[in-house]
Amino acid sequence: MHHFSWWRLAWTLLLYGSILAVVGVVVGAPLLVLLVGALALVLWHYWQLFLLVRWLWDGRQFTPPRGSGTWQFAFDGVYFLQRKNLKRRKELGRLLKRFREGTEALPDAVVVINEEREIVWCNKLATHILGVRWPDDNGQRIDNLLRRPEFVAYIKKQQFQEPLIIPSPAQPMASVEVRVIPYTANETLMVARDVTRLQQLEQMRRDFVANVSHELRTPLTVLRGYLEMIGDDPRLDAGPWGKPHKMMTDQVGRMYSLVEQLLALSRLEARGETETPRDVDVPALMHKLESDSQALNSDKQHSIRFDIDNLHMQGDSEQMTSAFANLVANAIHYTPSGGNIEVSWKKLPDGRARFSVTDTGDGIAPEHILRITERFYRVDKARSRNTGGSGLGLSIVKHVLSRHRSRLEIRSTLGKGSTFWFDIPKDLVSGHQSVING
């Protein structure tokens, strides 16, 4: 179809001109004939132009009218472009349809939002899960529709590594997990799923552990009480029941502390984040810890040194006590007799406060360090059992610290010793308050 060329145009013009010239010479009025011929040519071109324009603007047919001569090329060219465009449009339409069908088929709510956080599109499940309707809410700002403060803050903060769990705006008693995925320069995909069931299961697990620990405490208290009573009998040591009695007492004691720790953990999990922090007199706690650890230390005879700055902090005194005490008890337990243990609570140059416990003990191999704060994780099961360890201590510490916006750090060399430390954020540390308090 594409045979258009300059040559051809020039030839046609030349041929037309020559015919006119010949006719002009024959008739005897070459100028007049040439003028009339040129006029006819111009009219003819206008006519073709008219046809093309009429078809372009008013034409109802998809195919162009037949143009004649060189105009045919223009007509065909326009037609060709139009067909190409139509094909591309159809392809785009198909692609969009497939994308929408795909997102409709997802088991999650999908909302596309733009830079201004306005809704560009959403699937049907979004109505069910988030209460966002399509097309009614087209162009609405997402934070106007989902008004929970934690969601608004989450969207504003633009940090989407972690999903957010909020109560469902569409159904009472349901929870939704929201993930935000920026997928083009100016559009963001928000995916939400119903996690009610998961949350319920998690709650059931927590309740179960809490209830079991609670129910176990009473029988253990009774057992412990009677064992103590029996222990007071002077005949016991002479008879065959001396040793079994001691073992029973030890094991019941272990079970009791396990149950206590489990209860402590479930209390930590159950508490909301929004508790008002209180002043914690850390130097006073350290003082008490120092005298308590002497009792623990009676067998091992470590030298324990406390180096304490006069710093208070904001938080939960009971929780912090258990964190401090767990770390010190571990250092005593996992260091062979006659070791050195250093406990310090110091202000860092940047205003944070650091608690650290360094021992000259067994140390921990790197592969264990990552897992050591998991529940019931113990490096050497047999030895921990002897020390009465449950494997819950460090997970309690971890929980307590995360409630105080801090994190447990561990540096350890096998056979040489370990340092456990954590830093309390600056805004939770208060200076020499004990002076003011008297």
Q: Does 319 bind ligand ADP (CB under 6 A)?
A: no
Q: Select the residue interacting with ligand ADP from 384, 430, 433, 434 (CB under 6 A).
A: 384
Whether the Cβ atoms of residue 217 and residue 263 lie closer than 8 Å to each other: yes
Q: Does 391 bind ligand ADP (CB under 6 A)?
A: yes
Q: Select the residue interacting with ligand ADP from 266, 393, 403, 424 (CB under 6 A).
A: 393
- Segment lying near ligand ADP (by CB under 6 A), choices 157-165, 179-187, 194-202, 386-394: 386-394
Instruction: List CB contacts of 190: < 8 A, sequence separation 6 or more.
Output: 110, 111, 112, 113, 142, 178, 179, 180, 181
| Smallest distance from ligand ADP to CB 277, Å | 25
Phi and psi torsions of 123, nearest 5°? -90, 180
| Smallest distance from ligand ADP to CB 171, Å | 40
Footprint (CB under 6 A) of ligand ADP, residues 175-214:
none
Q: Select the residue interacting with ligand ADP from 48, 293, 330, 360 (CB under 6 A).
A: 330
| Smallest distance from ligand ADP to CB 355, Å | 14
Q: Select the residue interacting with ligand ADP from 64, 67, 339, 389 (CB under 6 A).
A: 389
Q: Does 339 bind ligand ADP (CB under 6 A)?
A: no
- Segment lying near ligand ADP (by CB under 6 A), choices 15-23, 175-183, 246-254, 328-336: 328-336
How many chain residues touch ligand ADP (CB under 6 A)? 21
Q: Does 64 bind ligand ADP (CB under 6 A)?
A: no
| Smallest distance from ligand ADP to CB 262, Å | 12
- Segment lying near ligand ADP (by CB under 6 A), choices 112-120, 234-242, 372-380, 401-409: 372-380
Q: Does 379 bind ligand ADP (CB under 6 A)?
A: yes
- Segment lying near ligand ADP (by CB under 6 A), choices 16-24, 78-86, 153-161, 359-367: 359-367
- Segment lying near ligand ADP (by CB under 6 A), choices 116-124, 232-240, 305-313, 375-383: 375-383
| Smallest distance from ligand ADP to CB 331, Å | 5
Q: Does 297 bind ligand ADP (CB under 6 A)?
A: no
Per-residue three-class SS string for the chain: CCCCCHHHHHHHHHHHHHHHHHHHHHHCCHHHHHHHHHHHHHHHHHHHHHHHHHHHHHCCCCCCCCCCCCHHHHHHHHHHHHHHHHHHHHHHHHHHHHHHHHHHHCCCEEEEEECCCEEEEECHHHHHHHCCCCCCCCCCEHHHHCCCHHHHHHHHHCCCCCCEEEECCCCCCCEEEEEEEECCCCEEEEEEEECHHHHHHHHHHHHHHHHHHHHHHHHHHHHHHHHHHHHCCCCCCCCCCHHHHHHHHHHHHHHHHHHHHHHHHHHHHHCCCCCCCEEECHHHHHHHHHHHHHHHCCCCCCEEEEEECCCEEEECHHHHHHHHHHHHHHHHHCCCCCCEEEEEEEECCCCCEEEEEEECCCCCCHHHHCCCCCCCCCCCHHHHHHHCCCCCHHHHHHHHHHHCCCCCEEEEECCCEEEEEEEECHHHEECCHHHHHC
Mask for 411-430, x = binds ligand ADP (CB under 6 A): -------x------------
Q: Does 390 bind ligand ADP (CB under 6 A)?
A: yes
| Smallest distance from ligand ADP to CB 216, Å | 18
Nearer to ligand ADP, 63 or 402 (CB): 402
Q: Select the residue interacting with ligand ADP from 302, 354, 378, 404 (CB under 6 A).
A: 378
How far is 326 from 333, CA to CA, in rounded Å? 10
Interface residues with ligand ADP (CB under 6 A) are 326, 330-331, 334, 359, 361-362, 364, 372, 377-380, 384, 389-394, 418
